[in-house]
Structure 1
Amino acid sequence: MTKYKLMALDMDGTLLNEWSEISDENAIWIHKAQAAGVTVCFSTGRGFMSANPYAHQLQLVTPMITVNGSEVWSKPHELLKRTEMDVAMIAQLHQLAGEYPDAWFWAYTTEGIYNKEKWIGKQRKLEDYTWLKFGFHTENDKERAEITEELIKWDAFEITNSSIWNIELNPKGVNKAAAIQEVCKFLNIDISEVIAVGDSLNDIAAIQACGLGIAMGNAQQEVKDAADEITVTNNEDAIAAIIKKHIFGQ
């Protein structure tokens, strides 16, 4: 029997193919892993409302990690832990975004996502919301580097990404690895008994912290460099391949 008791799966670029679908093969083997006693947990930068339909599709009633770890759920709709972003920091980030008019920005709240085209209305204040994550998107490498350099100076954030074009910001200390540790406490298992799988910089902390860290074949190079193993791409039923190999020894 496998020594692994939990699989923490990134979604976009990992569990999901390029059409944002869970392949039949991945679904079949996730169900087999669960039947063998392995807990399958989403570990995603998505918010709960965006991730939950996929959990419903797989009939998962297991823990979920959303917004890069700012929210940890014991099961869908049952919150275990939430870490908020400071409102003053959101104000500063919004101001910084205004200095780069060609860049896109967005922010997660518990009510939904606000962005460059749809920011909060004049009738409400930043303090009226519970903020979870802020992000920038620009395909201008110079702009992205300048924004990142400025954010590093603030020394206030976990600075990651979920694509090569974006910058994702969570409060310092909030990342997928810390969230997986919370799930491990809840399940009464050790993080050495976890397989973490991902493709982007927001997956590196988890890949390094867990017992087995696996990078996707389509992962960013830094993620591959941090991983114990590299699997096939997200269009090649990678999760099924991992389960066959590391859960069932096939």
Structure 2
Amino acid sequence: MIYRLLAMNIDGTILQDKQKLYKSVKEAIDYVQSKDVTVTLVTSRNFIFAKRIAKALKLDSLLVTHHGGYISKSKDEPVFVRRIGDNTVFDIVQFLENYKTHIRIVNEKMSVSNVPPKEKRLARTIIDPTTFSVYHHQYVNKVSDYLYSEQMQPTHIEVVFHNPSEAEEAQLALQNMFYEVNINHYGNQLIILPRGVSKLTGLLYICDKLKIPLKETVVIGSGEDDLEIIEAAGLGVAMGNAPQPVKYAADWVTRSNNEQGVAYMVKEHFRKQHPISFLEKMNILKK
């Protein structure tokens, strides 16, 4: 099988635990792009963060960000964006505030979250201190109060509960109350997305734009939210640090992110594949 598209998660995949981007990963991505393979990122991260990673990797492709809710090459010109409406966001947040939770509403420009109870303070804005991001986070005492005075249509909502049972209870309630969203449950966390949005729909969108069949994609991931795209890809690869269900779903389990698993897998697999342009020239592959 010839693979035309390589899609990778960021956290736990191309970045090691200390948020470092290994030189070997950059070299591996240069190598696979020299074979005319398109490389993209499929991530839960905000677009600004993903774009900076893409720049470090010399990628000029569409990026699937915000769990699939925002696809673009540039912040101001998305080719696809799906948001949760104002009224729905407000009602969901009001419901969630009945629990002791950390709530974060996110779009491509900024995020707003409540301050944990022991850290009550006035609203303030900070900049993400990570190496790659200048994304703005605003902390407020109560998210619903912020939404009452400010309009913000997020691409998604992230919620952290004290325990998984509360998260499961809230998921069931929210799914029954709001048909316009999907609720994804991971341990003590909920990710709330517009209905029909996921990393997989984002990957499918990219494939459709590039006219690349899904079977001609390689996906490398490490999180539970990568399981669906790993299963769907032509070649699904799990990082060595991925949880067991993700590894079981994969066709290939590579080394961990701290052991440069992406670089190892990419060089090991794609060294066997001739450049796409050569295969097309030899009529081995249709253009």
1:3 and 1:9 map into 2 onto residues whose CA distance is 18
**In the alignment, what sits opposite 1:108?**
106
CA contact (8 A) 1:51 1:66 kept: yes
2:229 and 2:39 map into 1 onto residues whose CA distance is 15
| Aligned AA (1:55) | A
Going from structure 1 to structure 2, the CA distance change for 1:156 and 1:219 (only over 3 Å counts) comes to: farther
**In the alignment, what sits opposite 2:183?**
159
Work out which of the residue numbers 240, 243, 248 in structure 1 matches 2:263: 240
For 1:21-53, what per-residue CA distance to the aligned partner results, in whole angstroms no more than 9, with x for missing partners? 211111110111111111110110011112221
**Unpaired segments of 5 or more residues in structure 2?**
116-138, 274-287
1:51 and 1:32 map into 2 onto residues whose CA distance is 20
For 1:168-227, what per-residue CA distance to the aligned partner results, in whole angstroms no more than 9, with x for missing partners? 121222111111111112212111111111122221221122111112211122222322
Going from structure 1 to structure 2, the CA distance change for 1:141 and 1:121 (only over 3 Å counts) comes to: closer
Stretch of structure 1 that moved more, 31-40 or 125-134: 125-134
| Aligned AA (1:170) | L
Going from structure 1 to structure 2, the CA distance change for 1:50 and 1:121 (only over 3 Å counts) comes to: farther
Find the residue that maps to 2:7 and give its secondary structure: strand
| Aligned AA (1:232) | R
Work out which of the residue numbers 211, 215, 240 in structure 2 matches 1:192: 215
TM-score normalised by structure 1 residue count: 0.88
Q: Does 1:47 align with 2:46?
A: yes
2:158 and 2:15 map into 1 onto residues whose CA distance is 21
Work out which of the residue numbers 158, 163, 169 in structure 2 matches 1:146: 169
C-alpha deviation, 1:245, in angstroms: 2.5
Q: Give the number of equivalent residue pairs.
A: 246
Q: Does 1:182 align with 2:205?
A: yes
CA contact (8 A) 2:175 2:182 kept: no
CA contact (8 A) 1:160 1:201 kept: no
CA contact (8 A) 2:181 2:195 kept: yes
Query: Which structure is larger by alpha-carbon Rg, 1 or 2?
Result: 2
CA contact (8 A) 2:10 2:43 kept: yes
Going from structure 1 to structure 2, the CA distance change for 1:35 and 1:113 (only over 3 Å counts) comes to: same
Stretch of structure 1 that moved more, 38-47 or 208-217: 208-217
1:151 and 1:123 map into 2 onto residues whose CA distance is 21
Find the residue that maps to 1:224 and give its secondary structure: helix
1:19 and 1:164 map into 2 onto residues whose CA distance is 23
Work out which of the residue numbers 244, 249, 270 in structure 2 matches 1:221: 244
TM-score normalised by structure 2 residue count: 0.78
Going from structure 1 to structure 2, the CA distance change for 1:156 and 1:183 (only over 3 Å counts) comes to: same
**In the alignment, what sits opposite 2:119?**
none
C-alpha deviation, 1:109, in angstroms: 2.0
Stretch of structure 1 that moved more, 150-159 or 16-25: 150-159
C-alpha deviation, 1:160, in angstroms: 3.4
| Aligned AA (2:92) | L
1:76 and 1:35 map into 2 onto residues whose CA distance is 23
**Unpaired segments of 5 or more residues in structure 1?**
none
**In the alignment, what sits opposite 2:278?**
none
Going from structure 1 to structure 2, the CA distance change for 1:38 and 1:95 (only over 3 Å counts) comes to: same
